[in-house]
């Protein structure tokens, strides 16, 4: 049995890091999360919590708060961006009966907040902010961490949840680093009061066309309309969520598309939208090295064409906690974690990348819908019960 007081450091307080911390706490451990942001704030926009992720969150006791905070889409629709021809309808009214858990859509900050609240309810000092990992060294004494803006620390076990540009993955696993994929996402939350009436209809709609797509769905009980436009570009000069651009730039990308799309862009608050380049790394061949493990985007950064980036990070955290709870040693726990997660994450990462070319084709007869999450059985997975 692993000693429950073994020092565990988690780098990154995103969805994966927080889920891992909560799962480890449920197993009796006391991990410490080191987060570079000065405060945990109301950041992000809409997010899909698919049944595979819901099962994991419910296993950690978050079922009731999740249901109270999220929207349940009755359907998902795909339309052509120019003609508005309906290409596909997926009925989501009976998801729990089919997969054993609900399909939710919600504000990312609401999910992040409930996870952070659950972690700090168990241990008020579990999250340390203002600690950006600047250097890491490993020796027989453990993992030595230097933080810009924080005191150095040492941990016996390191869980890297530090995103697609993970310093741990670069320094320890020898990866060349994240690369720009050619995809740019522009995102905006439009108050429902300012949105066209059709945009307030529950459920999601994706409009698609040549090398671009646009999705909208309500969150926070229909108070906000989450909108994301995905386009392609030969280069990228910005990083992350911090770049804001005029909504006119987004409007130019979708000029000539249906009013359902262009009217939402025109309603962007302050005439600005968020913009960021999408970066990935090659599929990992290992996610464990010694007493260190990668989770979430550090392990498998994904394009958003299957909506599984957050879901797989949640899966990682739940499975990691179970492996530590059920193993006799740290090495056994991490070996079981890698064996349970690597192939699944490689598959979803590859299918998410291929999803762009299947979806973003010209004309209402060009798209392919034969490799969806339903077709691939992704929603059937339960991180709380899968064999580890």
Active centre residues (catalytic): 217
Question: How far is the C-alpha of 166 from the C-alpha of 12, rounded, in Å?
Answer: 10
Question: How far is the C-alpha of 238 from the C-alpha of 275, rounded, in Å?
Answer: 8
Q: Which residues of 244-264 are buried (b: 16+ CB within 10 A; e: fewer)?
A: eeebebbbebbeebbebbbeb
Residue whose entry in the numeric block shows the structure tokens 């990935």: 280
Question: How far is the C-alpha of 270 from the C-alpha of 150, rounded, in Å?
Answer: 36
Angle formed at CA 109 by CA 103 and CA 110, multiple of 5 degrees: 55
**Are the beta carbons of 287 and 293 closer than 8 angstroms?**
yes
E strand map for 6-94: 8-11, 32-34, 46-49, 75-80, 86-91
End-to-end CA distance of the chain: 16
**Are the beta carbons of 40 and 127 closer than 8 angstroms?**
yes
Query: What three-state secondary structure class fits 159?
Result: strand
Centroid of chain to Cα 274? 17
């Amino acid at each position: 049995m692993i000693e429950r007081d073994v020092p565990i450091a988690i780098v990154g307080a995103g969805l994966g890091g927080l889920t891992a911390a909560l799962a480890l706490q449920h197993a009796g451990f006391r991990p410490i999360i080191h987060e570079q942001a000065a405060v945990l704030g109301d950041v992000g926009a809409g997010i899909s919590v698919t049944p595979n992720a819901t099962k994991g969150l419910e296993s950690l006791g978050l079922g009731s708060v999740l249901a109270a905070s999220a929207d349940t889409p009755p359907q998902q629709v795909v339309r052509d961006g120019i003609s508005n021809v309906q290409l596909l309808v997926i009925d989501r009214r009976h998801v729990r009966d089919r997969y054993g858990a609900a399909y939710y859509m919600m504000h990312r900050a609401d999910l992040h907040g409930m996870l952070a609240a659950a972690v700090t309810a168990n241990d008020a000092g579990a999250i340390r902010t203002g600690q950006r990992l600047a250097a890491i060294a490993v020796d027989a004494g453990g993992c030595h961490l230097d933080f810009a803006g924080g005191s150095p620390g040492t941990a016996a076990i390191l869980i890297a949840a530090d995103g697609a540009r993970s310093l741990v993955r670069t320094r320890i696993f020898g990866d060349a680093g994240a690369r720009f994929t050619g995809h740019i996402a522009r995102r905006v939350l439009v108050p429902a009061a300012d949105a066209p009436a059709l945009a307030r209809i529950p459920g999601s709609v994706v409009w698609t066309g040549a090398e671009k797509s646009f999705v909208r769905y309500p969150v926070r009980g229909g108070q906000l309309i989450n909108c994301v436009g995905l386009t392609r570009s030969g280069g990228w000069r910005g990083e992350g969520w911090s770049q804001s651009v005029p909504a006119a730039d987004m409007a130019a990308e979708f000029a000539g598309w249906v009013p359902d799309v262009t009217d939402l862009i025109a309603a962007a608050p302050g005439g600005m939208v968020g913009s960021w380049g999408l970066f990935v790394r090659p599929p990992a061949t290992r996610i464990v090295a010694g007493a260190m493990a990668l989770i979430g985007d550090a392990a498998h950064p994904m394009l958003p064409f299957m909506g599984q980036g957050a879901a797989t990070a949640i899966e990682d955290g739940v499975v990691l906690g179970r492996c530590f709870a059920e193993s006799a040693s740290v090495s056994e726990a991490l070996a079981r974690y890698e064996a349970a997660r690597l192939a699944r994450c490689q598959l979803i990462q590859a299918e998410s990348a291929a999803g762009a070319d299947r979806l973003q084709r010209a004309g209402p007869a060009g798209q392919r819908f034969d490799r969806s999450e339903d077709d691939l059985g992704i929603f059937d997975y339960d991180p709380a019960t899968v064999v580890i």
